[in-house]
Amino acid sequence: MQRRVLWVAVLASFVAFLDGAIVNVALPALTRELGGGLTTQQWVVDAYLLALGSLILIAGSLSDTLGRVRVLRAGLLIFGVASLACAVAPTALVLILARCVQGAGAALLVPSSLALITSTFSGTAQGKAIGSWTAWTGTAFLAGPLLGGLLVDFASWRFIFAVNVLPIAATLVLLRGLALPSADDAGAAAGSPGRVDVPGALLASAGLAGTVFALIEQDRLGWGSPAVVVPFVLGLAALAVFLWWEGRTRAPMMPLGLFRIRNFGIGNVATTFIYAGASLGGLMMVLFLQEVAGFPAALAGLASMPTAVVMLLLAGRFGTLAGKYGPRLFMTAGPILAGAGYLLMATTSRPFNFWLHILPGLLVFSVGMSVTVAPLTSAILGAVRPAQSGIGSAINNAVSRVAGLVAVALAGAMLGGVLDFGSFRRIVAITAGMFIAGGVVSAFGITNRAAAEVPAAAVAVEEGKPDTGDTP
């Protein structure tokens, strides 16, 4: 039964990560058919991220309140229908609207799938399961550009959306008749459907949507435009009111007490740096290889394969080790190693040689990410009670998505408006700094709290007792 739960979690998250990664290499072909140029390209990507980032906290709360499987099934159905709508979209506007619905479905998938693991596995087995989940979903994210490039070059860009139907159908089949552990319905024990924090959900959505919209559009319209300033200010105001409300209401969708749990709070700070670097570095790599080095879409996508293979082979093992020895060492060494990989790429120059300038750094980065991701996830979700694993996962995913979105939104300023060899070296150095910062934060902030102490620590925080984090 545990193996079946793991496959459900992997497949459900796989489609969300795959779709987020596969689109980039298809953007030129897509706009050649539907038109709209750069604006259409931006919104095909950003409509998905905007809906995902705005709704993921709500989804995590619903996962804990209504039950993991119920929310997961709804997410799969929404995502599948939206994927088909994307595949047959006759215009750019229809495609963008369908991408927004896809993002809403993805927001339901990730927290619920990861919460299934944390409510089914425990101890070392949980670390191993999260490592396997990380390896497979990470593979989807990193191999997506290769699959997208092949489909674009040899079929049609529309197939990048149609392929989502297969893993969705497989996941729905596995969900049928699944004998769920009682902990899976922890959300029902934590509260009833009537306790959904509607004001908090609306404030979080408005706050994230406003700020994310402004960060997306500022590169095109400038900060002096009312279309940027107004949603940005209103979004920040909504987020401020959201934090005030969450500290006041009896049933918050984002319990602020979670951030007083040391590994949860510090882990999310580390997540901010690590995933900002991962998003920025990954996008710049694909763009550099195509626009500067002159690689075709499929070949640029092929460059992601070393990372996918390394993570598939190693991430589960490091998840197991973190479950046995604690996450601190891995969360410290992993990001620093990933940053060192990007520093190696800063040697890129003319004449360009992928095997010399990119591949060595890419392999070092891949090992670093394999060391990092499963221990990071285990540390954060292991710090909260199983009944709150859905919202814990949602918060962490929201942090990673928003961090990546902000980093990518600021990429133009980092590049100086032009992507060439000089600006690429500059941006990989910045990316390396983000990873190293994540490792330093983990070194000084993460603790190797014994798994048996975690529920007590979480309960103590919720009851207002201090969490000293003194356990070495």
Whether 258 contacts 437, CB under 8 Å: no
Q: pLDDT 10s digit of each residue in the chain, 472 long?
A: 667 777 777 888 778 778 777 887 787 778 778 887 666 776 787 788 778 877 777 777 677 677 777 888 898 999 999 999 999 999 999 999 999 999 889 888 877 777 777 777 766 777 677 777 766 776 676 667 778 888 888 888 899 898 888 888 888 888 776 655 444 444 443 434 446 777 887 888 788 778 877 877 777 788 889 998 999 999 999 999 998 998 888 877 778 888 888 899 999 999 999 999 988 888 788 778 877 888 887 887 788 778 878 887 887 788 788 878 889 999 999 999 999 999 999 999 989 999 999 999 999 999 999 999 888 988 888 888 776 766 777 788 778 877 877 787 677 667 776 778 998 999 999 999 999 999 999 999 998 864 434 444 444 444 444 343 333 3
Amino acid at 197: D
Q: Give dist(CA 176, CA 1) in Å, integer.
A: 12
Q: Does domain 2-176+253-462 have CATH number 1.20.1250.20?
A: yes
**Is 249 exposed, middle or buried, given 0-12, 13-18 or 19+ CB atoms closer than 10 A?**
middle
Closest CA to 275 of 55, 144, 424, 434: 434
b/e 144-164 (16+ beta carbons within 10 angstroms → b): bbbbbbbbbeeeebbbbbbbb
Whole-number Cα distances in Å, 407 to 61, 71, 282, 348, 413: 26, 30, 11, 22, 10
Domain extents in the chain: 2-176+253-462, 198-252
Whether 280 contacts 430, CB under 8 Å: yes
Encoding tokens for residue 341? Answer: 């990989």
- pLDDT value at position 187? 43
Closest CA to 306 of 346, 341, 347: 341
Q: Give dist(CA 283, CA 23) in Å, integer.
A: 11
